[in-house]
Amino acid sequence: MTVFKDTRQLGKEAVKTAQKMLNGENIEATHRVNNEKIDVPSILLSPVAVDMNNIDEVLIDSGYLKKEDVYVD
């Protein structure tokens, strides 16, 4: 089992947030993460638990990885 965060979705959210910052728009942080000094406003996307039951659906069918990159002979 592993935890998967799709970097394509993370990248889209980062670009969207950067554009809002450049336009002076309000950014709605959904969470706060403490960095041992302050609570940092954060936008966290939901991770997906990947195991043998959903590996094809999450990693291959989504186009994130190729089957031959996941299954090695």
Q: Which two tokens stand for residue 34?
A: 């403490």
At 12-53, the pLDDT tens digits run: 999 999 999 999 999 999 999 999 999 999 999 999 999 999
Q: Which two tokens stand for residue 59?
A: 């990693």
> Is pLDDT above 80 for 73?
no
pLDDT confidence of residue 42? 95
Cβ proximity of 23 and 11 under 8 Å = no
Distances (CA, A) of 5 to 25, 37, 48, 57: 26, 26, 7, 14
**What global pTM score does this model have?**
0.77
Secondary structure class of 29 (helix, strand, coil): coil
* Domain definitions of the chain by residue range: 2-67
pLDDT band at 72 (very low <50, low <70, confident <90, very high): confident
